[in-house]
Amino acid sequence: EHILVTGQVVNNHTTIVIKHVSIELRQKVHYTSGEAKRSDTRLITRLVCGSVAPNDVLTLHHSIQIPHDCYPSLDRRSINIQVTYELLLTSLGNFSIDTPIIIGSRTGCPSPLSITSGDKSSCIYYCSPPSEHSNTSDGPPPY
């Protein structure tokens, strides 16, 4: 799977160069256990596209490959782990634009079948394609 990013970064400043324009794919994992909450953010991939000179335009037409071992997005309120992804267009100290994206199950590629929590005595959360369950269900994902 690939994410195609197209567009332009326009520098309207007359003297400032916008440096290190890059595209990033980040994974965010939110864990809850009773009252305790923890969040982790992981950089999946980063592509440095270049710099934009004053009064110039940087045209973007890039493809970001999603690694085959990325977990599918999990956004179910009834379980205590949430996995989300965001695509960021950033520049060193100038701006950061983030867009949430959904990564589905990839049936043609080997991918993890489950996510387990840190302690091995806990539950296993099964990943399933969104078509197999509705978002309104309060029960565990089907397996």
Fold topology of 2-132: Immunoglobulin-like (2.60.40)
- The answer to pTM > 0.75 is no
Residue (of 25, 8, 9) closest to 17 by Cα position: 9
In the chain, domain spans: 2-132
pLDDT by residue for the chain (143 residues), tens digit each?
Answer: 788 888 888 888 899 889 899 999 999 998 888 888 899 999 999 999 999 999 999 999 998 888 877 877 877 777 788 888 898 888 877 788 888 888 876 544 443 333 333 444 443 333 334 444 444 444 444 43
